[in-house]
Structure 1
Amino acid sequence: MRILLIEDDIRLAETLAEALTDQLYVVDIATDGESAWNCTKALDYDLLLLDLMLPEIDGITLCHRLRSHGYQKPVLMLTACDTISDKISGLDAGADDYIIKPVDLGELFARIRALLRRGNTISPPVLEWGNLQLNPSTYEVTYNHTPLHITPKEYSLLELLLRNGRRLLSRSVIIDHIWRTDTCPDEHTVKVHLRSVRQKLKAAGAPEDFIETIHGMGYRLKSLDLLQKS
């Protein structure tokens, strides 16, 4: 899951980005409203974490602009502006939630998980596909109740596949979703991670083609009907 953190306090932004990365999110940082606006046009973010007091375009104006242009992804305002009128302004501008600095990280993570669930109503708190289960709250992945010991990137890859099911994901789309913009992995890197995930799934009892390759197009999870017949 990719988050855009919009915060002009560089030290705070880096601290929050590190904490969110530890929670297996991919985090990009924008330090002003104009850069954030450009980022949202260039990449598909799952959630925006937005400060109010920003250079170029303030958080309220940016949120209102995003919503007026049809932007529907969750926006969580994270700010020191703590009056009732500030909260009302933020929510009326289109924010989905509003949290006051200094923030408890546990509460922030819980609010992010709640917004991500709300933003994708087809996905339950625990993601499932056949015998595969992934719990975004505990980062546990099991196949037929057997724990899978996977790397953070493998976890992100499986989560992306589970959230998309039968939708085809190209290698470039996978890179856009699970690598930061300041890293430049090639498409072979995706193949390496997929191969490792497939091996671990197979070792736990999954069919070899649990993750399908559609040559020249991308990857997706095997049909549930076919999995039941396997």
Structure 2
Amino acid sequence: MKVLFLEDEPVIQDVLAEYMRMKNYDVVTVSDGEAAIATLSREDFDIAVLDIMVPKKNGLFVLEYIKERGIDLPCIMLTALEDEQTQLKAFNLYADDYVIKPVSPIILLKRMETILRRVSSYKTKPMNNKEFYLLEDSYQAFFQGESLNLTLSEFLLLQMLWKEPNRVFTREQIILHIFNEDYIGNDRIIDAHVKNLRKKLPFYCIRTVIGVGYQFDIAQLENGVKS
């Protein structure tokens, strides 16, 4: 497993990177946000550990860069900042974890293992060698290289469910993701979006959880394309 480790404090960088290498991680260390972005542009990684308070571009900027470009990379934010606003910003940018310094190297490694195990379990196998994927920067979903021609609302709905397979989202949570706080009306509009999205998807994957909402069902996805 290859790790991008952004940390500007030399002692912390050396100690944590050494612990990672002891667990057989291939670690690439950088000391500022611009170096992290440059490294991401030319190398692939399995996980990133990003300190927030670093020179040039901070860790949140790097996280935003990763998510805006649709880079499939789980990210742990490592920081001394404990305020709620910073944590909310990190999670709104889809950080996978938020670890407060000082941190035990053993605990950090366990958190990395947990996230990598979860990500590995979520990755689906190609169905008959036919690939399904999202391009988040262009708001498009593809199957066998062809766009599924989703509306923006349909894409945002699919994106939300796809990012956290098997998690059940309520209609209210989905509305907030799609419309922010601008929508006023019946939450059953989500049912209509789900119905239209199901028609466009080439496989069954969106499951209704009665009385709660919807989830991306990995088990259904692995059954393959619609007959």
TM-score class, shorter: 0.5 to 0.7
Partner of 1:62: 62
- Do residues 20 (structure 1) and 23 (structure 2) align? no
Give yes or no for contact 1:77–1:97 (8 Å, CA) kept in 2: yes
CA distance in 2, matches of 1:72, 1:94: 11
For the residue of structure 2 that corresponds to 1:120, the secondary structure is: helix
Partner of 1:96: 96
**TM-score normalized with structure 1 length:** 0.51
Partner of 1:116: 116
CA apart distance, 1:122: 5.9
Q: Which amino acid aligns with 1:78?
A: L
Cα 1:11–1:86 change in 2 (3 A) is same
For the residue of structure 2 that corresponds to 1:78, the secondary structure is: strand
Q: Which amino acid aligns with 2:43?
A: L
Partner of 1:6: 6
- Do residues 50 (structure 1) and 50 (structure 2) align? yes
Q: Which amino acid aligns with 2:40?
A: T
Coordinate RMSD, CA, aligned: 1.3
Partner of 2:84: 84
CA distance in 2, matches of 1:72, 1:82: 26
**Unpaired segments of 5 or more residues in structure 2?**
124-227
CA distance in 1, matches of 2:71, 2:9: 25
**TM-score normalized with structure 2 length:** 0.52
Cα 1:120–1:33 change in 2 (3 A) is same
Partner of 2:156: none
CA distance in 2, matches of 1:14, 1:29: 9
For the residue of structure 1 that corresponds to 2:121, the secondary structure is: coil
Q: Which amino acid aligns with 1:86?
A: T
Residue-pair matches, total: 123
CA apart distance, 1:56: 1.2
For the residue of structure 2 that corresponds to 1:42, the secondary structure is: coil
Q: Deviations over 1:25-76 (max 9, x none)?
A: 1111010001101111111111000000111111111111110011121100
What is the percent sequence identity of the aligned residues?
Answer: 32
* Structural mapping, 1:170-181, within 5 Å: none
Give yes or no for contact 2:66–2:73 (8 Å, CA) kept in 1: no
CA apart distance, 1:86: 1.6
Give yes or no for contact 1:61–1:93 (8 Å, CA) kept in 2: no
CA distance in 2, matches of 1:55, 1:72: 24
CA apart distance, 1:106: 2.1
Give yes or no for contact 1:73–1:119 (8 Å, CA) kept in 2: no
* Higher RCO (CA-CA < 8 Å; seq separation 6+): 1
* Structural mapping, 1:176-215, within 5 Å: none
Runs of 4+ in 1 over 6 A off after TM superposition: none
